[in-house]
Amino acid sequence: MTRRTRRDLCPGLLRPWIADDGALVRLRVPGGAVPAEALGALVRVAGRYGDGTVHLTSRANLQVRGIAHDHGRLPDAVVDAITATGLVPSTSHERVRNILASPLTGRSGGRADLRPVVAGLDARLCAEPRLAALAGRFLFVLDDGRGDLVERDLDLGLVALDAGTAQLRAGTSAWGPVVRLDEAPTALTALAVRFVELAGGEPGSPWHVDELPGSGAAVLGEEHERAAPTRVGAPPPPLGRITQDDGRVALHLAVPDGRVDARLMAEVRALGAGDLVVTPRRTLLVPDLENA
């Protein structure tokens, strides 16, 4: 078993990272899904208290940096302003909501709509007290069968086989049983609890499934043969206009240096955007636009 020399220091709102330019706060947005209004509110927070931009991460999360602090403690006004965006639904589990999903799932391509799986998994993670012990780097990766995320490093995850089933994964190379998609959030939560039980809650406990003796097989209990349909691969979605399966349109926008500023948010709002999707490429999808 890999032994760490300290606890995980991956930042959140209530435990920021102190960098040379000030405090850094990371906000998890499972599946990359974020309401345009919430992202706009966070950009305003960054303009008032930080470096003026919201930074997108390769895990499709959000960061605000350059925040003034008092020996590592954020001012109450900053915490209140970020909380008011609605992007921190759980203070106890805010750092463990790391769920990456195929950005276009349920809108264009893919075998299955994984948005309900993302929502169900997030709810179960936040409701399970034992999972507050997960490291802030522990990652769930959900591929909707197109193969755009199947090669990503992960701790737990799945690949959709068809519209109703998926094969579970644990660690780099271990494959689990095939489950119904409506059962997947419960199954993944149970595996995460199993990881916590095996890893323990000490400062030196492993952060990742692959750091356990036996890696993913130890968490699964029984390995399964990898299903043939999981052997897929796909590039990230192209920039520009993407026709959705329902006839509407998604615009895939480049975000220079992965930094969303007030000017870009004004452009997004002018499109009439409701929900947005942050991608692992640090770009932004504006989906569900009428095909005019």
H and E: helices and strands count for the chain: 6, 15
What is the CATH number assigned to the segment(s) 8-92+239-287? 3.90.480.10
pLDDT at 1 over 70: no
Characterize the bridge pairing of strands 99-101 and 140-143. parallel
Q: Average pLDDT in the 203-228 region?
A: 94
Residue 176's pLDDT is what? Answer: 98
pLDDT digits (tens, 9 = 90+) for 65-91: 999 998 888 999 999 999 999 999 998
Residue 180's pLDDT is what? Answer: 98
Local structure of residue 15 (DSSP, 8 states): S
- Can you name the CATH fold of 109-230? Sulfite Reductase Hemoprotein; domain 1 (3.30.413)
Q: Average pLDDT in the 109-136 region?
A: 97
pLDDT digits (tens, 9 = 90+) for 217-274: 999 999 999 999 999 999 999 999 999 999 999 999 999 999 999 999 999 999 998 9
pLDDT band at 289 (very low <50, low <70, confident <90, very high): very high
User: Which residue did the predictor score with more confidence, 9 or 117?
Assistant: 117
Q: Average pLDDT in the 152-178 region?
A: 98
Q: Which of 68, 44, 43 is nearest to 54 (CA)?
A: 43
> What is the pTM (predicted TM-score) of this model?
0.95
**Helix, strand, coil % (nearest 5) of the chain?**
30, 25, 45
- Residue 139 parent element (H or E): none
User: Which residue did the predictor score with more confidence, 292 or 140?
Assistant: 140
- Pair 168, 121: CB distance under 8 Å: no
pLDDT band at 204 (very low <50, low <70, confident <90, very high): confident
Domain boundaries, the chain: 8-92+239-287, 109-230
Averaged confidence pLDDT in the chain: 94
pLDDT band at 156 (very low <50, low <70, confident <90, very high): very high
